[in-house]
Structure 1
Amino acid sequence: MTAARPAEFPRPGTSALSRIPQHEATTLTRGGNQALIVLDDQVYQLRITRAGKLILTK
């Protein structure tokens, strides 16, 4: 498991992609293959498949 990257201030000339928060899926699932993500009152399930793909369902 890897530690989350610390937030950095964007430097001039950096792309918009580099300013988007990045999270390791295995950290979100605590080494397992599922995690629940809550947005407002909705609960979503994040799943890592055996093929290493991500599925997000409501």
Structure 2
Amino acid sequence: MNAMVPPVQSAAADSIADDIATYDVRALIETGVQARLVLDGQPYFLRITRAGKLILTK
């Protein structure tokens, strides 16, 4: 996943906190149910479960 996804703005996001970046997970994942995220060179996997929950694993 090389594409950068810009943060989304919505009324719900505004009510949480104005200074927290908010991302649409489905836009991050685009196709399928899993995305690879990299933090300090370490890969992590973000997955949407069948129940619509998020799981982040290393």
Normalising to structure 1: TM-score of the pair?
Answer: 0.69
Corresponding residue for 1:18? Answer: 18
- Distance in 1 between the 2:25 and 2:36 partners? 12
Match of 2:36 in 1: 36
Cα–Cα, structure 1 residues 48 and 23, in superposed 2: closer, same or farther, change >3 Å? same
Partners of 2:38 and 2:30 in 1: how far apart?
16
RMSD: 2.5
CA distance in 1, matches of 2:40, 2:8: 25
Larger Rg: 1
2:48 paired residue number: 48
In structure 1, stretches of 5+ residues that fail to align are: 7-13
Aligned residues: 49
| Structure with greater helix share of residues | 2
Question: Any stretches of 5+ residues in structure 2 without a counterpart?
Answer: 1-5
Displaced runs of 4 or more, over 4 A:
none
